[in-house]
């Protein structure tokens, strides 16, 4: 192996070698190159290719030496400068790692491997299926592949040397399956259903494999799918039909901290089932993704931080596998010579026949190591992806990353010329690199509340139990809370479960005008004293509320499920956001509570302080039933104001729960008062009251404008200009560019349009698709929408539930009917036949004219208007043609178009290449302008200033010409 030539992959000669060498030297070039490679297969004209090439790798974008630029030009001929040639160069590059789609070509390559004594496993490229028809197609491709290879493989006798194991011949036909591609609706809350659907598509594959005597391996993908993959494996191979075959195995990733426990469990399972399985031990290919996602979600990082830890774990697990050679067959997937040598040494020590296990390596990589493994008489299997380039791009980029990483064995050996000593070092002896200090924080300590990881069984059980417990306690009367005392009323309004209108969640007291006045007087009386409580003590109250919410998390989620019809994950996100508001505003107030020096000048102090505004009313909507009311209430209160909270008529019980938690946290009487009742009477009365100082409103444009107007009128006896914090609706748009990653765009658009039945102010309701993609994208979008699971929110895995109320249902259904006259009804989903529930079938209109009502007005339901644009400029001007400016988004892989939307798309929150809902406190301060609101950003640092007035204090420090040292 030492004597072997540098593999072509790492040769500095030629197009690929030159690119990889530079990629290793320059991170920026690497990023730009890989992004270009990623988009390339979707580009259809040479003009488009040239444009993207310039946008990513033009002289202004990356600095590469003139020599490299020349080298690249020479390597690819003049075509480097013109679009078409580069595509075939990159296709050639991809073909080094994948087998393509042509059956003849596939057979030829596998035959060649056979002649080289190398066994194979084939995997069908493609990881993202966005709809059930796509999952069907994917399963069918496995069946076709089995048929094709079954015919060919049976002709080859004797079996290739690598398929001759110590226990006899092994199946020559070996396929690797990715389970995520067999079901499009995997949802963390409902693994059971996912296993059922995956099993349905697996059975025909396993049956065919059994007939053909083929081996089936389950590949391992992201961590989120790991337990599901293990569960699917155990479930299906416990079925009597598959108890005797086909031969099967699964991959385990040594970079996962859980891998030891998983391996032990699988070995135990094999032992109790009395069934030999193969475990393919790999290191893991999604390290960056797992690390980034865990950080984003504040979840424990599931992978080891250091590569050396993974290598060491691989060695430990290898040993364990070999020790259990009587129960499991081992396949060691590695290109690392040290890891291979370690396996061989353990095998020798344990007396395991070297042909009892195999090494697996990727097609197109590590040729010299493969030859060496064969030369020493070991078995070798190549992992061969087959399929189209487009779905293969994720795979290609993973290979390119691996070949250019600082840590890969191959890159270290061949590209960096690392010596034997370094390459073969015991990973346990490699010192951990110095830890990088966390980036300095913006002046306060705040961390977002993690979302619940429902892939954990215990969390799912907690939620089910909370719903059951709540159901036993429904139907109570919820009085008003004034001056920390319960106040009953003459009238009570039932709050109904949107999924079952005969289920009363609770009865909300209906305040009279007199009671609203009483609440106002209580708040007025309490305010001066509350304002004198130190800012950090007020902040502590908020933190107590956050702690109580954490304590009651599952119960609060359950309440959202039953009162607001939020599904588990949406409810959990809302409660987490409420907790974030408490903690974040507490942190911001601690900072604002300190006077700030305005300018340093000798002999005088100048500082800015903040004073509370006084008494306010909090008027909240139902769609984020806890988070929004909590955000507005806590911001006002921590700033030293007192408030009257008026939750929505649709979710009064959740609103009341917030006020109860405030009281439990120890807020003094009168600081937070609860008034439930009709917004149009008690709400309007309070808004117009001369003794009110501010209004924090979130809701519809219709009501918001009334409040804006009413608050602007100054009444006799009024002492303050009323401040209105006003957040209203949206008609939010996403542009899908012609080079967009459609897998991501479909998923993001579906989640944005239909998450919580489209009842989010941030929801996608106008989708503008560039002509080139229009039909293809619309078809995939419809298929994806059609695959969504519709059902009551309490059922885990329900994505679409009922809308909030009977009124909302009737209103939206009427809009859909009118919409049919304005645009083409492209698709309408079906909903459960349940007259007691408020379902609205999710609906997609296509070719929607920009002048139509559907395109212009907020519907606030599961209705999506899709419009075609001939080019990007037209798309952008359609997007901006709206009275609203709340959220917006764009899926594009053109750096110039991305720059254009960043500069010109009119909205308060813009999201690029992701869905447009789900703003996170502090990370994405949320709110719009124009008819979407007053430009205040909830969850942002400046939000509290809405509830404060600034005051500057200047003090002359000179007394008889003497100034104290610190003030001079
Ligand atoms: P809504 O406007 O009907 O009601 C909001 C609140 O106002 C309720 O508490 C209601 O009782 C009260 N109200 C109604 N009439 C009133 C009046 N005349 N005077 C005082 N109060 C009155 O809105 P909704 O249906 O609860 O919520 C959905 C709307 O909220 C959508 O338009 C959505 O886009 C918007 N929204 C905006 C944001 C944002 O941050 N911009 C967030 C969530 C919801």
In this predicted model, what pLDDT tens digit does every residue of 479-525 receive, in sequence order?
Answer: 999 999 999 999 999 999 999 999 999 999 999 999 999 999 999 99
pLDDT at 415 over 70: no
Question: Is 727 a known active-site residue?
Answer: yes
Looking only at the bridges linking them, the beta strands covering 500-510 and 476-478 are parallel
Give the Å distance between the CA of 647 and the centre of ligand 1.
10
User: What average pLDDT does range 449-458 have in this prediction?
Assistant: 96
CA dihedral 21, 24, 29, 34 (to 10 degrees): 90
What DSSP string describes 554-594?
Answer: HHHHHHHHHHH---HHHHHHHHHHHHHHHHHHHHHHHHHTS
Which residue of the set 761, 838, 890, 907 is catalytic? 761
The partner residues of 379 in beta bridges, in order of sequence, read 358
Give the Å distance between the CA of 648 and the centre of ligand 1.
8
CB 583 within 8 A of CB 449: yes
In this predicted model, what pLDDT tens digit does every residue of 678-708 receive, in sequence order?
Answer: 999 999 999 999 999 999 999 999 999 999 9
Question: Is 134 a known active-site residue?
Answer: no
pLDDT at 952 over 90: yes
- Cα 571 to Cα 352, 500, 520, 801, 914: the distances in Å are 53, 18, 31, 12, 21
pLDDT at 845 over 80: yes
CB 251 within 8 A of CB 280: yes
User: What average pLDDT does range 319-324 have in this prediction?
Assistant: 98
- Any ligand 1 atom below 6 A from CB of 763: no
- Any ligand 1 atom below 6 A from CB of 860: yes
Rounded CA gap, 58 and 51, in Å?
9
pLDDT at 194 over 90: yes
pLDDT at 84 over 70: no
Give the Å distance between the CA of 699 and the centre of ligand 1.
2
Residue 83 binned pLDDT confidence (cut-offs 50, 70, 90): low
In this predicted model, what pLDDT tens digit does every residue of 373-413 receive, in sequence order?
Answer: 999 999 999 999 998 877 787 788 888 887 777 667 767 76
Give the Å distance between the CA of 704 and the centre of ligand 1.
7
Counting atoms of ligand 1 from 1, which one is nearest the CA of 684?
19
Q: Which residue has the tokens 């391992």?
A: 220
- Any ligand 1 atom below 6 A from CB of 758: no
Give the Å distance between the CA of 196 and the centre of ligand 1.
41
The partner residues of 476 in beta bridges, in order of sequence, read 506
Q: Which residue has the tokens 């607001």?
A: 564
- Any ligand 1 atom below 6 A from CB of 861: no
Counting atoms of ligand 1 from 1, which one is nearest the CA of 926?
40
- Any ligand 1 atom below 6 A from CB of 387: no
Residue 563 has a pLDDT of 98
CB 371 within 8 A of CB 4: yes
Give the Å distance between the CA of 560 and the centre of ligand 1.
17
Helices and strands, counts by H and E, the chain: 32, 32
Residue 179 binned pLDDT confidence (cut-offs 50, 70, 90): very high
In this predicted model, what pLDDT tens digit does every residue of 212-221 receive, in sequence order?
Answer: 999 999 999 9
- Any ligand 1 atom below 6 A from CB of 620: yes
Which residue of the set 563, 727, 794, 858 is catalytic? 727
Give the Å distance between the CA of 321 and the centre of ligand 1.
60
- Any ligand 1 atom below 6 A from CB of 924: no
What DSSP string describes 604-636?
Answer: EEEEEEEEE--EEEEE--SSSTTHHHHHHHHHH
Rounded CA gap, 665 and 663, in Å?
5
- Any ligand 1 atom below 6 A from CB of 728: yes
335 phi-psi bin (left φ>0, alpha ψ -120 to 50, beta other):
alpha
Residue 445 has a pLDDT of 78
Counting atoms of ligand 1 from 1, which one is nearest the CA of 704?
2
CB 480 within 8 A of CB 465: no
Burial state string for 88-126 with b = 16 or more CB within 10 A and e = fewer than 16: ebbeebbbebbbbeeeeebbebbeebbebbbbbbbbbbb
Mutation test residue for ligand 1: of 574, 659, 700, 860, the one with most atoms within 8 Å of CB = 700
In this predicted model, what pLDDT tens digit does every residue of 464-483 receive, in sequence order?
Answer: 999 999 999 999 999 999 99
- Any ligand 1 atom below 6 A from CB of 692: no
Counting atoms of ligand 1 from 1, which one is nearest the CA of 699?
30
CB 329 within 8 A of CB 171: no
- Any ligand 1 atom below 6 A from CB of 884: no
Counting atoms of ligand 1 from 1, which one is nearest the CA of 730?
34
Residue 126 has a pLDDT of 76
Q: Which residues contact 150 (CB under 8 A, 6 or more apart)?
A: 173, 208, 212, 214
The pTM assigned to this predicted structure is 0.94
């Amino acid at each position: 192996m030492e004597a072997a030539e540098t593999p072509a992959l790492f040769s500095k000669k030629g197009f690929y070698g030159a690119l990889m060498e530079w990629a290793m030297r320059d991170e920026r070039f690497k990023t730009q190159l890989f992004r270009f490679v990623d988009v390339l297969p979707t580009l259809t004209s040479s003009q488009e290719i040239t444009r993207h090439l310039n946008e990513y790798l033009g002289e202004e974008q990356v600095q590469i030496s003139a020599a490299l630029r020349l080298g690249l030009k020479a390597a690819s001929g003049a075509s480097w400068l013109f679009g078409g040639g580069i595509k075939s160069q990159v296709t050639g590059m991809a073909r080094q790692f994948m087998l393509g789609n042509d059956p003849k070509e596939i057979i030829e390559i596998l035959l060649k491997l056979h002649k080289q004594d190398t066994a194979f496993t084939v995997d069908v490229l493609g990881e993202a299926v966005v709809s059930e028809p796509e999952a069907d197609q994917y399963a069918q491709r496995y069946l076709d592949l089995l048929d094709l290879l079954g015919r060919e493989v049976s002709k080859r006798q004797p079996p290739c040397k690598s398929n001759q194991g110590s226990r006899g011949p092994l199946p020559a036909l070996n396929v690797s399956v990715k389970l995520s591609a067999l079901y499009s609706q995997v949802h963390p809350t409902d693994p059971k259903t996912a296993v059922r659907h995956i099993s349905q598509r697996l059975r025909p594959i396993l049956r065919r494999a059994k007939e053909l005597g083929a081996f089936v391996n389950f590949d391992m993908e992201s961590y989120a799918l790991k337990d599901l993959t293990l569960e699917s494996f155990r479930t299906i191979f416990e079925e009597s039909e598959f108890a005797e075959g086909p031969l099967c195995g699964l991959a385990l990733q040594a970079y996962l901290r859980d891998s030891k426990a998983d391996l032990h469990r699988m070995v135990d399972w094999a032992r109790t089932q009395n069934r030999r399985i193969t475990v393919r031990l790999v290191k893991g290919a999604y390290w960056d993704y797992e690390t980034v996602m865990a950080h984003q979600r504040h979840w424990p990082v599931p992978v080891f931080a250091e590569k050396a830890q993974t290598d060491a774990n691989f060695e430990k697990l290898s040993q364990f596998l070999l020790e259990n050679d009587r129960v499991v067959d081992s396949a060691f997937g590695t290109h690392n010579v040290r890891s291979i040598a370690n396996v061989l040494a353990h095998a020798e020590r344990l007396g395991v026949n070297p042909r009892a296990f195999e090494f697996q390596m990727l097609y197109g990589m590590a040729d010299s190591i493969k030859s060496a493994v064969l030369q020493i008489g070991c078995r070798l299997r190549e992992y061969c992806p087959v399929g189209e380039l487009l779905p293969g791009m994720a795979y290609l980029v993973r290979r390119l990353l691996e070949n250019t990483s600082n840590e890969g064995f191959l890159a270290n050996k061949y590209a960096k010329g690392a010596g034997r000593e370094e390459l073969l070092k015991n990973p346990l002896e490699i010192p951990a690199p110095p830890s990088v200090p966390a980036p300095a924080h913006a002046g306060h300590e705040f961390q977002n509340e993690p979302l619940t990881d429902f892939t954990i069984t215990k969390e799912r059980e907690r939620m089910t139990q909370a719903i059951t417990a709540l159901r036993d306690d429904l139907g109570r009367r919820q009085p008003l809370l004034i001056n920390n005392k319960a106040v009953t009323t003459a009238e009570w309004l039932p709050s109904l479960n949107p999924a079952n209108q005969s289920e009363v969640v609770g009865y909300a007291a209906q305040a009279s005008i007199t009671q609203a006045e009483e609440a106002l007087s209580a708040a007025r009386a309490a305010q001066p004293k509350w304002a004198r409580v130190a800012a950090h003590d007020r902040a502590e109250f908020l933190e107590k509320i956050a702690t109580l919410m954490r304590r009651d998390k599952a119960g609060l989620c359950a309440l959202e499920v039953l009162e607001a019809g939020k599904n588990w994950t949406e409810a959990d996100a809302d409660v987490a956001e409420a907790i974030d508001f408490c903690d974040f505003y507490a942190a911001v107030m601690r900072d604002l509570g300190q006077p700030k020096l305005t300018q340093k000048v000798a002999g005088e102090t100048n500082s800015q302080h903040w004073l509370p505004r006084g008494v306010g009313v909090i008027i909240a909507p139902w769609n984020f039933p806890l988070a929004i009311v909590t955000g507005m209430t806590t911001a006002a209160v921590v700033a030293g104001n007192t408030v009257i909270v008026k939750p929505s008529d649709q979710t009064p019980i959740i609103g009341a729960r917030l006020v109860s938690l405030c009281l439990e946290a120890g807020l003094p009487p009168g600081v937070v008062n609860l008034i439930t009742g009709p917004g149009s009477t008690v709400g309007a009365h309070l808004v117009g009251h001369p003794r009110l100082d501010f209004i924090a409103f979130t809701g519809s444009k219709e009501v918001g404008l009334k409040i804006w107007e009413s608050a602007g009128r100054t009444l006799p006896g009024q002492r303050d200009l009323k401040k209105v914090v006003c957040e209203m609706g949206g008609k939010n748009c996403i542009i899908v560019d012609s080079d967009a990653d459609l897998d991501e765009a479909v998923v993001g658009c579906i989640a944005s349009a239909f998450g919580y039945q489209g009842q989010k102010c941030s929801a996608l309701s106008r989708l503008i698709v560039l002509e080139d993609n229009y039909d293809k994208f619309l078809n995939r979008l419809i298929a994806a929408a059609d695959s969504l699971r519709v059902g009551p929110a309490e059922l885990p895995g329900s994505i679409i539930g009922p809308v909030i109320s009977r009124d909302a249902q009737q209103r939206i259904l009427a809009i859909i009917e009118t919409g049919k006259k304005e645009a083409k009804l492209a698709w309408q989903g079906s909903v459960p036949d349940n007259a007691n529930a408020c379902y609205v079938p999710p609906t997609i209109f296509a070719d929607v004219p920009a002048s139509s009502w559907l395109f212009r007005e907020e519907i606030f339901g599961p209705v999506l208007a899709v419009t075609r644009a001939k080019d990007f400029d037209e798309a952008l001007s359609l997007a901006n043609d709206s009275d609203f400016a709340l959220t917006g988004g764009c899926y594009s892989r053109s750096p110039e178009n991305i720059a254009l939307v960043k500069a010109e798309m009119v909205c308060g929150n813009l999201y690029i290449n992701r869905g447009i809902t789900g703003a996170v406190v502090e990370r994405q301060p949320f709110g719009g302008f124009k008819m979407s609101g007053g430009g205040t950003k909830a969850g942002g640092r400046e939000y509290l200033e809405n509830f404060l007035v600034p005051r500057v204090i200047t003090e002359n420090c000179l007394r008889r010409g003497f100034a104290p040292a610190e003030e001079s």
